[in-house]
Amino acid sequence: MTFEIAAFRATDARRMSEARRIRQIVFCDEQGVEAHEEWDDKDGLCEHFVLSENGVGIGTARVRPYGPGISKIERVAVMKHRRGTGAGKALMEDIMARLMAANVATVVINSQMAVEGFYRKFGFISEGSVFVEANIPHVHMIWRPESSSPPSL
Ligand SMILES: CC(C)(COP(=O)(O)OP(=O)(O)OC[C@H]1O[C@@H](n2cnc3c(N)ncnc32)[C@H](O)[C@@H]1OP(=O)(O)O)[C@@H](O)C(=O)NCCC(=O)NCCS
């Protein structure tokens, strides 16, 4: 499967609307996340990603600076009809490789419990107890260089 991945800031209106389209479908329409929770005030702080197939966006994520040497991956989503094809993996590997190249020492994720095993594949380890965010059970996960070898681009 050949995927293209674009990295951009929220000021890139064309790409941002593609990211927002996917987030609306996956998080708001499919998962029932309320608009005020999905559309927070943090998009302007983030680097955004859209994964496309044949020119059509099918996946997205954003990365937010979270402290010195720490980044937080958020809003990871692949359109339902393209899940299980390696799209999420391609997106995560691209993001992780960029973070490693930027010498980010720690990467964190608040993972939905249903996809904890997905992030584990990239070396994330769960920490602490389950909590509810946007009415969905989550667990905090953390990646440090010693957790696993960084993926290569
Ligand atoms: C989580 C998500 C992004 C995964 O995307 P995907 O394109 O289906 O994932 P891939 O096909 O690239 O799978 C990569 C690997 O993760 C595994 N995997 C995928 N979903 C998984 C899950 N829910 N639990 C455990 N492992 C999972 C696959 O089996 C595959 O393993 P392999 O490499 O050993 O074959 C996608 O299911 C999704 O968008 N879910 C809805 C939105 C969501 O919940 N986002 C997470 C917010 S925290």
- pLDDT for position 35: 97
Taken in order of first residue, the domains within the chain and their CATH numbers are: 4-147 (3.40.630.30)
Token code pair at residue 5 = 């991945």
- pLDDT for position 88: 98
Token code pair at residue 132 = 């509810």
Between the CA of 91 and the centroid of ligand 1 the distance, in Å, is: 11
Q: Which of 23, 93, 95, 115 to mutate to test the pocket of ligand 1 (most atoms within 8 A of CB)?
A: 115
- pLDDT for position 14: 97
pTM score: 0.96
In our burial notation (b when 16+ CB lie closer than 10 A, e otherwise), range 6-21 reads eebebeeeebbebbbe
- pLDDT for position 151: 52
- pLDDT for position 149: 53
Q: Which of 78, 93, 109 to mutate to test the pocket of ligand 1 (most atoms within 8 A of CB)?
A: 78
pLDDT along the chain (153 residues), means of 10: 94 98 98 97 98 97 97 98 98 97 96 98 97 96 77 48
Identify the DSSP state of 115: G
Identify the DSSP state of 99: H
